[in-house]
Each structure stands twice: as structure tokens, then as C-alpha cells.
Amino acid sequence: MAQKWLFLTLFLAAAYFGSVNTVTAQSTPRSFLWEPEFSVDLPSDNKWEFSFGIANRYLFDSQLNGEQINKNEQQHFEVNQFTSYKTSDNASVALGFRYRFRETFNDSRHDEFRMIQQFGYKHRGTFLTPAHRFRFEQRFRENTIFRLRYRIGISQPMGEEFGIGLSTEFLYSMMKDFKPEADQRYTIKLENSSFKNLGLSAGVEWRREDYAGVPTSEIYILSGLNLQL
């Protein structure tokens, strides 16, 4: 039990000191965005699962040294599909495809097609239900980006219909003729299952982009709707 509480303490401490670092870095560009998502899970009587979804990203405000550099901009609209297979009660592998429409909203940007390979593992029946997710992505746009991602999260029920989750994710991107980029994300999310076959979620995510190079900070308001047919 002591090790589990130590893990939670370290998790919260990392998020706290990361946010302090963001506040003190006066020259770091900061952006405030909204990202709603809608997904549909298809029923299956075997180990296969299929999910389809759409998402949107909208920029409210972006500032540098207290001066506004951008505001009220639609950034992209995306569609995605994931096929997953349960290898055990706690583990699964998945293959995903994602397409982001970016040129429609800004001629200087290129649309993006993404392939995603994923492995997930959840410690069911243990304290705070730790969950791990490993991803390898190929992002095809003006320059192909290869990205490694690792996320660890914990969750806790709050009664029969509500739950809260905390997670942090490390990302490492590689692109030809450019230096690798390291990012970190911290997320807190509240989930609700009051409605039959319908899951609702809302949360906040803080992203520290390229913190070893030219760092930027982004705050996302998250909202989600998941329908299970």
C-alpha cells in the first residue's frame, strides 16, 4: 500500500512542478483551446472491438509575453477508427487510422493522415486501477513524423455514476532533418455514466510541447461523448 501512495504522490508532484515551471517561463507562448470528441463503439461477442469517432479543435486565444498573437481559429476536424483485440482480461492491442482536415481552415497547413499501433494494459482490481498505454504513430503530412508515446493513468470511482481520472503522457517525435522533440501532457478528467449506453466526460489537459528545445504551453478544455451500440 505504501508503494501505491508513493506513486500517487510522485504523479501529483510532477504535475505541480511542471505547472510551476510553465508559470515562471515568461517567454513561453501559451494557448487556450477546446477539443470536443464523439465516438461510437460497436458491440462484439468476441475479443474484437471496433470504435469510430470524430473530433474538433478550436483555438480561443494564443499569447506571447502577454500579447495576443492569435484568437478564435478553427484548427482542424478529424475522423478516426480503431480496431482492438483483447489478448487477456487486462491487455489489448489495437490499430488505428486518423485523418485530420487542416487545409480547409488554413491554406498554409496540410491535411494529415495518421496510422497508430497501440498496446494497453490495465491493473484491474487494484488500488486506483493503474493503466498503461504505449503507442507508435506515423503522421503523414508535409513532413512524415514518427512518434513514440507512453501514458500512465489512475482512476477512482466517485459513487455509482461518476469517476475521476488522472494521467500523464510522454511523447517523443522524430522527423528527418529536424531535431527530435519531447513533449509531456497532464490530464484530469471527470466521467459520468448516468445514461444507458452513453458515457460523458469533461476535463482539462495541460501540454508542454518541445520542452527540451523551444517550449510552448497549451491548455485544453476536453469534452467527450461515447455511445455504445
The set of residues, in sequence order, having a beta carbon less than 8 Å from that of 31 and lying 6+ positions away, is: 59, 61, 62, 63, 70, 216, 217, 218, 219
Q: Fill in the DSSP letter of residue 43.
A: P
Report the domain count for the chain. 1
- The per-residue pLDDT for range 12-40, each reduced to its tens digit, is 445 444 444 444 444 678 999 999 999 99
Q: Whats the size of the chain, residue-wise?
A: 229
| Residues 172 and 182 sit within 8 Å (Cβ to Cβ) | yes
Q: Characterize 182-191 residue by residue with b for buried, 16 or more Cβ atoms within 10 angstroms of its Cβ, and e for exposed.
A: bbbbbbebeb
Q: What is the pLDDT of residue 66?
A: 80
Pairing label, strands 181-195, 198-209: antiparallel
Within the chain, residue ranges assigned H as helices are 2-24
C-alpha cell of residue 199? 458515457
| Tens digit of pLDDT at every position of the chain (229 positions) | 444 444 554 454 454 444 444 444 446 789 999 999 999 999 888 899 999 999 999 999 998 888 888 889 999 999 999 999 999 999 999 999 999 999 999 988 999 999 999 999 999 877 788 999 999 999 998 889 999 999 999 998 888 889 999 999 999 999 998 899 999 999 999 999 889 899 999 999 999 999 888 899 999 999 999 999 8
- The per-residue pLDDT for range 35-59, each reduced to its tens digit, is 999 999 998 888 999 999 999 999 9
Domain containing 183 — which CATH number? 2.40.160
Q: In whole angstroms, what is the distance from residue 67 CA to residue 210 CA?
A: 21
Q: What is the pLDDT of residue 121?
A: 96
- The boundaries of the domain holding residue 171 are 2-228
How far is C-alpha 145 from the chain's CA centre?
A: 17
| Residues 96 and 78 sit within 8 Å (Cβ to Cβ) | no
